[in-house]
Amino acid sequence: MTPYLVRRLTPLDSRLALAALYAGAIVAAVAAGGSMFALFGANPVTAYLSLIENAFFDLRGFGYTLVQATPLILVALGAIVAWRSGFMYLGFDGAMIVGSTTATAFALGAGPGLPLDMLPSTIVVALAVLVGAMAGALWSAIVAVLQVRTGGNTVLISLMTNYIAIVLVQFLVSGPMRAVGDQPQTSLIDRAFWLPIIIEGTRTHAGILIALVMAAVIFVLMEKSAVGYELVAAGLNQKAARYGGVDVGRRVVQAGLVAGALAGLAGAITILGVQHRLLDGLSQGAGFIGIVAALLGRLTVPGSVVASLLYSGLTVGADAMQRHTGLPSALVQVVQALIVLFVLAAEIARTHRIALRAPSAAKARA
Amino acid sequence: MSTIFDATFLVTWLAAGVRLSGPLLLAALGEIYAERSGVLNVGVEGTILIGALASYLAAVATGSPAIGILAAVGAALAASLLLAFFYVVVQASQVVVGIVFNVLALGLASVIYRAAMGDVPALTSAPMIESFSIPGLANLPAVGPILFQQSPMLYATLALAVAAGLVLYRTRFGLNLRAVGENPRAAAAAGLSVVRMRLLCILLSGVGAGLAGGYLVLCQVGLFRDTIVAGRGFIALAIVILGRWNPFAAILAAFAFGLADALGLSLQLLALPVAPQLFIALPYLMTVVAISGLFGRARSPAALMQPYQEE
Amino acid sequence: MMVPAPPVSPDRPIVSLRGITKRFSPTLLANDEIDFDLRAGEIHALLGENGAGKSTLMQILYGLYARDAGAILIDGAPMEMSGPQSAIACGIGMIHQEFMLVEPFTVTENLLMGGLALPGGARFDPAEAGARIRMLSEAYGLDVDPDAVVEHLPVGVRQRVEILKLLYRDARVLILDEPTAVLTPQEVQALFVVLRALRDAGRSIVIVTHKMQEVLAISDRVTVLRDGRRVATVATAATSEDELVRMMVGRSVSLTMERPPTSPGRVVLSVRQLVVGDATGAIKVAGLDLDLRAGEIVGIAGVDGNGQAELIESLFGLRPVASGGVSFGDEDITDWSPTRRRAAGIGYIPADRRRVGSLVELSILENAMLGDLGRYRRRDGLLDRRRGLDDARRLIERFGVRVSGPLFPAGKLSGGNLQKVVLGREVMREPDLLLVEQPSRGLDIGATRAVWSELLNQRSGSKAILLVSAELEEILNLSDRIAVMFGGKIAGLFDADQVDLATIGALMAGGRATPAQGGRS
């Protein structure tokens, strides 16, 4: 008797079923990860508890969680806008990098004695952030235009642009933008232009507020506005959307601009709030984890925010866990990936079920 | 001052280009088969890493590079089975699965390496597969060092590329494979099992990637770091496209990328005013232009990335 | 030289289906305990309305669908039919509605591709196979070049390639699913000649169709399906059109509509020397002239693929015009966008209601808003959902859509109900001109009647309607004037009561109308 996968007549669609599947998947992933902890001789329960405590119930730790969540939320918002409009963009890493670079260049150009010195510092910060967003928007719009005009494979092209951006930064920080010295990095941005810390005693900067505001904006855009309707229509069915009067090409490019702007914004905020200088390797994969968070959140704004917080909490907690118990933080990375995989696998339980049938009976096929 | 057109520089650069193109070509060949059957396996990057780790650990443990290669293949097969489950059974978005898998692979590799080697990296060199010189031919001026003093893995890879091309275009299996990637419904109506074909091709792409990982460790670097792959998996994807899903053309495309990689390194020796990064970025730009559709559509297999549902 | 099939007793069934049942969803029981027999050397028609379950039954026989219950017997022995390879191995071949051809391959490659050993245990040798295929093609008069790439072949030839595929495997049983949908009347006759020859040589053929004329013309026996059940199996010679209709729909009357006389008013649409190409640059509409008046329906008859789709799309602004002009009332609208045309009073009901006319993932409410977003956009840029709900509820009520409420997902509606939503949405905007394509395709009699009534309603309200349909019954029932389109041009334009079926048929096939038959442009 071998098990077969049989298509359900009606896919499970009730809220309860979905919630149960999701919860089950997350629990399974966490348990699988926990068993790996055990292999290292640690107690999974205490390890997880210390992780959660550090990420969410400790002021400084929670502050870090918010800091880490900021770029994730912004990239996730970008993924929502882009993917739901039919623009399968994966170049958020590159757009972030481009945003960081332009923001850094702008902020460095506003130091004492330099061209933009006369501007008040709040304006400089606001403009730096804006410039970063615009640069990100242009970066991704190029790919959007390619998709609309020539039908190029957006997935692969945008993946390539990430590498171009990485190489670009490597060039800039080793050459034109390098600070005095041997390190491949720029000089430190003037303290006046750092994003203010909003929670005493933590490293939480204003970026999280910007991210949450953008979340509200994108929510209204996609769920409630007429433009959002057109974007979603364009993403669901180009032909039908065109039939319904939607200028699909224009909307896709606009979606690309927004997605890139959000990622560029994330990059600018990360520079002005965390690193305060441009160096190689600063995105740390946020461009991809943000996409994953969006997918876990089923491409909805509230879901993505929650998923981003979950993921950033895991990352922050992992570092603390490593310090306290010696467990490598990479283990948590494994858990993060397992969560998505289990959730994806759980999806199949929504549309199929397992049937144990003797082969000679009316047949079911996998 | 030696210039870029100096003969020695040219020869060194071309030889290095050929050398570096090996693992890229190997990974690309497997991926060509996967994509020809309709599956875009973005998880190549992670699979190369897993192959690299397995080959390192096995070779260090047993002192035999051959066992290392076998271990690379075994580990990659296991990883590919997991990927195949998600691509073919769950039928989740291929791009998503690939990306998440890469994250998983990175995490697992770090963890396992740490567990096996302890916290302080011992920097144990793995026993390597040495390059050899083909007697006689290796002494030819210019061409000798470029083509005939390379690793046996490179020659094996080139032979594999030719074999892959012949199978794809001259055998019934290759015909059926291409049919599955162009019109899976037609293939099914003709009695082919789309699922089985895709499964096989995903495993092939895994083997290619795993071997590429072993190639990196045992023929080139000699050590393992979690940054050893550095995007080569994605470059393999680019090679597949640049080579228009054709194993013969992939040889040239891989060479182009190998040259760019080698140039970046070599230029640093020359202290040229031109930034090396420009050349490093060149292959990526080339690929973007090639697949952007600006010069006509690169015709990918029609069913690429589309899930296939049986009733 | 015909290749004969091995001799079989004429009365014992080659294929026997017993109690076949297949359910797709709680509301869709496609096959309900169907029995079916096929004898050697017969042409057996499987007749039924759209959605009666004919294709499904054959897909099960061919192994592409898994059955929920029932048995399949080949030559009296039960077969598992785990997939097409089992069917092919039993000598069963199927030509689907959508051809199963790999476009970039040659004909030879398409025939060589597959999961079974090559016929006769041959080695993989494209040259040798090509020669054999050429021989087969000549033997059956199919005129197919084995080295031609399928991508470049017209539809009629592709069908012959599919037939060749079956002959290459020496199929004893040939299943053809709606084979004449894409053929001109001439090509249909040619196909029938081939089929009769195959039957006379001892092979068995099943034709799945919803066209009664064909059943009467070609088949030896006919099995009628209705709503997933077998109604009856009769010898064709022993039945009549009326009886077949009764079995198909349970009534003895076919659909005819009352068309009250109207007097057409001003010219609403004027098309002059219109030339439209497609994506590859081929000319699809080759210099077309047409005038359409308020209060009349002009029906464009023609086989799919003669430029009708491109004509309608260009009239709505979905396809660019290469040359020529389109006027709506007094305005030249040749370059206008669809949105602008809608605003001016043009509505469009596309042929594909699921993939063009609606967004099936969204609710009825959101579909009701499609095409007129300006009406639902508030000043602050947000959607006016309340207005949308009102409009959607009015639509549901006025057009009798059977649904619980406007938030129901459109994709789950039946074909008829979805068509009502699409039709209703366009009509409620009170356009002066309606462009309508294949409005009753895939609908049962009740929904068809509702759609036709509404169109005639609009006609009575002095709207102008341009109707494109491949169903002559539809054209004849609704049109005041009938145009036949062939090769991108109007081959003939007549008043509806001054033309007969034969003339229309001839023009559809590319023949010419004689002046005596009232031809008028």
Angle (nearest 5°) at CA C146 between C142 and C147: 140
Question: Cα separation of A190 and A206, whole Å?
Answer: 17
Weakest-pLDDT range from A139-148, C126-135, C178-187, C243-252: C243-252
Residues A220, C382: C-beta atoms closer than 8 Å: yes
CATH 1.10.3470 fits B7-123+154-291, yes or no: yes
Q: How far is B289 from chain C (nearest CA, A)?
A: 23
pLDDT of residue A280: 77
Of A228, A230, A240, the CB nearest to C356: A240
Residues B183, C118: C-beta atoms closer than 8 Å: no
Question: Cα separation of C409 and C417, whole Å?
Answer: 12
> Exposed/middle/buried for C73, CB within 10 Å: 0-12, 13-18, 19+?
middle
> Exposed/middle/buried for A236, CB within 10 Å: 0-12, 13-18, 19+?
middle
In DSSP terms, C484 is beta-bridged to C301, C492
Subunit partners of chain C (3 or more CB pairs within 8 A): A, B
pLDDT of residue A358: 45
- Indicate the number of domains in chain A: 1
Question: Cα separation of C266 and A222, whole Å?
Answer: 44
Residues A168, B237: C-beta atoms closer than 8 Å: no
pLDDT for A2 beyond 60: no
What average pLDDT does this structure show over C436-465?
A: 88
Residues C23, A241: C-beta atoms closer than 8 Å: no
Residues C83, B191: C-beta atoms closer than 8 Å: yes
Looking at beta carbons, which residues of chain C come within 8 Å of A2?
none
Give the model confidence (pLDDT) of A269-323 as tens digits. Answer: 998 888 888 887 766 778 888 998 998 888 999 999 999 999 999 988 888 888 8
Give the model confidence (pLDDT) of B157-198 as tens digits. Answer: 999 999 999 999 999 999 999 999 999 999 999 999 999 999
Q: If you measure CA to CA, which chain C residue comes closest to B303?
A: C102
The answer to whether A236 contacts chain C (CB < 8 Å) is yes
Q: If you measure CA to CA, which chain A residue comes closest to C369?
A: A244
- Residue C325, H or E segment: strand C323-328
Q: How far is A227 from chain C (nearest CA, A)?
A: 8
Weakest-pLDDT range from B99-113, B247-261, C131-145, C278-292: C278-292
What average pLDDT does this structure show over B26-42?
A: 95
Residues A224, C382: C-beta atoms closer than 8 Å: yes
Q: How far is A294 from chain B (nearest CA, A)?
A: 11
The answer to whether A15 contacts chain C (CB < 8 Å) is no
Q: Which residue, among C233, C229, C231, has the nearest Cα to C219 in the 3D structure?
A: C233
Weakest-pLDDT range from A80-84, B163-167, B273-277, C167-171: B273-277
In DSSP terms, A262 is beta-bridged to none
Looking at beta carbons, which residues of chain C come within 8 Å of B182?
102-105
Question: Cα separation of C494 and C301, whole Å?
Answer: 11
Query: Do residues A262 and A214 lie in contact, with contact meaning Cβ atoms separated by under 8 Å?
Result: yes
Question: Cα separation of C324 and C271, whole Å?
Answer: 8
Query: Do residues B228 and B63 lie in contact, with contact meaning Cβ atoms separated by under 8 Å?
Result: no
Give the model confidence (pLDDT) of B232-243 as tens digits. Answer: 888 898 889 888
Does A308 or C415 have the greater pLDDT score?
A308
Question: Cα separation of B305 and A108, whole Å?
Answer: 44
Question: Cα separation of A92 and C501, whole Å?
Answer: 62
pLDDT band at C267 (very low <50, low <70, confident <90, very high): very high
Does B301 or C269 have the greater pLDDT score?
C269
Q: How far is C26 from chain A (nearest CA, A)?
A: 6
- DSSP 8-state symbol, A193: G
> Exposed/middle/buried for A275, CB within 10 Å: 0-12, 13-18, 19+?
middle
The runs of H, that is alpha helices, within chain B are 7-36, 44-62, 65-84, 94-117, 143-147, 152-170, 172-182, 184-189, 194-215, 232-242, 247-270, 276-291
Of C66, C83, C101, the CB nearest to B186: C101
pLDDT for C444 beyond 80: no
Looking at beta carbons, which residues of chain C come within 8 Å of B184?
none
pLDDT band at C478 (very low <50, low <70, confident <90, very high): very high
- DSSP 8-state symbol, C483: E
pLDDT band at B274 (very low <50, low <70, confident <90, very high): low
The residue with tokens 């004893």 is C172
**Chain CA centroid to CA C72, Å:** 29
- The residue type of B35 is E
Q: How many helices (H) and strands (E) does chain A have?
A: 13, 2
pLDDT for C519 beyond 90: no
pLDDT for B63 beyond 70: yes
Strand locations in C210-322, DSSP E? 221-226, 229-235, 267-277, 283-293, 297-301
What average pLDDT does this structure show over C52-58?
A: 89
Residues B277, A170: C-beta atoms closer than 8 Å: yes
Residues B178, C102: C-beta atoms closer than 8 Å: yes
Looking at beta carbons, which residues of chain C come within 8 Å of A243?
316, 318, 338, 348, 350, 356-357, 370-371
CA atoms within 13 Å, Cβ hemisphere of C215: 28
- DSSP 8-state symbol, A29: H
Looking at beta carbons, which residues of chain C come within 8 Å of A299?
none
Q: How far is B194 from chain C (nearest CA, A)?
A: 10
Q: How far is A119 from chain B (nearest CA, A)?
A: 34
Residue B48 CA: distances (Å) to CA of A38, B60, C109, C383: 27, 18, 35, 49
Does B146 or A172 have the greater pLDDT score?
A172
pLDDT band at B268 (very low <50, low <70, confident <90, very high): low
Question: What is the separation, in whole angstroms, between the first and last Cα of chain A?
Answer: 14
Q: If you measure CA to CA, which chain C residue comes closest to A11?
A: C25
pLDDT of residue B295: 59
Residues B89, A366: C-beta atoms closer than 8 Å: yes
Looking at beta carbons, which residues of chain B come within 8 Å of A292?
96, 99-100, 103
Q: Give the CA radius of gyration of chain A.
A: 23
Q: Mean pLDDT over all residues of chain C?
A: 86
Q: Mean pLDDT over all residues of chain B?
A: 85
> Exposed/middle/buried for A360, CB within 10 Å: 0-12, 13-18, 19+?
exposed
Edge-to-edge order in the sheet of strand C283-293: C283-293, C267-277, C323-328, C331-332
Looking at beta carbons, which residues of chain A come within 8 Å of B241?
153, 156
Question: What is the separation, in whole angstroms, between the first and last Cα of chain C?
Answer: 47
pLDDT band at C10 (very low <50, low <70, confident <90, very high): low
pLDDT of residue A183: 74
Residue A315 CA: distances (Å) to CA of A29, A218, A328, B102: 15, 26, 11, 17
Query: Do residues C352 and C440 lie in contact, with contact meaning Cβ atoms separated by under 8 Å?
Result: no
Query: Do residues C278 and C155 lie in contact, with contact meaning Cβ atoms separated by under 8 Å?
Result: no
What average pLDDT does this structure show over C135-150?
A: 90
Question: Percentage of chain C with pLDDT > 70?
Answer: 94
The residue with tokens 């349909």 is C469
Q: Mean pLDDT over all residues of chain A?
A: 85
Q: Which residue, among A282, A342, A332, has the nearest Cα to A312 in the 3D structure?
A: A332
Question: What is the separation, in whole angstroms, between the first and last Cα of chain B?
Answer: 70
Angle (nearest 5°) at CA C73 between C70 and C74: 155
What average pLDDT does this structure show over B50-76?
A: 92
Of C67, C355, C369, the CB nearest to A237: C355
φ/ψ (deg, to 5) at C436: -125, 130
pLDDT band at B1 (very low <50, low <70, confident <90, very high): very low
pLDDT of residue B53: 94
Q: What is the pTM of this model?
A: 0.83
pLDDT band at C2 (very low <50, low <70, confident <90, very high): very low
Residues B234, A341: C-beta atoms closer than 8 Å: no
pLDDT of residue A362: 38
Give the model confidence (pLDDT) of B299-309 as tens digits. Answer: 778 888 777 77
Query: Do residues B177 and B168 lie in contact, with contact meaning Cβ atoms separated by under 8 Å?
Result: yes
pLDDT for C230 beyond 80: yes
- DSSP 8-state symbol, B219: I
Positive or negative, the CA dihedral B82, B85, B87, B92 is negative
pLDDT of residue C302: 82
pLDDT for C336 beyond 50: yes
In a domain? residue A85:
yes
Give the model confidence (pLDDT) of B212-222 as tens digits. Answer: 999 999 888 88
In DSSP terms, C38 is beta-bridged to C15
pLDDT band at C102 (very low <50, low <70, confident <90, very high): very high
CA atoms within 13 Å, Cβ hemisphere of A308: 32
Range of the domain at A158: 69-298
Angle (nearest 5°) at CA C467 between C341 and C181: 125
What average pLDDT does this structure show over C58-81?
A: 91
Residues C115, B191: C-beta atoms closer than 8 Å: yes
pLDDT band at B120 (very low <50, low <70, confident <90, very high): low
pLDDT of residue A360: 36
Q: Which residue, among C134, C94, C126, has the nearest Cα to C110 in the 3D structure?
A: C126
Residues C383, A365: C-beta atoms closer than 8 Å: no
In a domain? residue A330:
no
The runs of H, that is alpha helices, within C90-211 are 107-112, 126-139, 155-168, 185-200
What average pLDDT does this structure show over A332-346?
A: 89
pLDDT for B281 beyond 90: no
Residues C373, A242: C-beta atoms closer than 8 Å: no
Q: Which residues contact B268 (CB under 8 A, 6 or more apart)?
A: B276
Give the model confidence (pLDDT) of A271-281 as tens digits. Answer: 888 888 888 77
The residue with tokens 């990100």 is A136
Q: If you measure CA to CA, which chain B residue comes closest to C123?
A: B172
pLDDT of residue C1: 40
Mutate to test the interface with B, among A90, A158, A163 (most CBs of B within 10 A): A163
Considering only residues 245 to 284 of chain B, which have any Cβ-Cβ distance to chain A shorter than 8 Å? Answer: 275, 277-278, 280-281, 284
What average pLDDT does this structure show over A254-265?
A: 96
Q: If you measure CA to CA, which chain C residue comes closest to B186?
A: C100
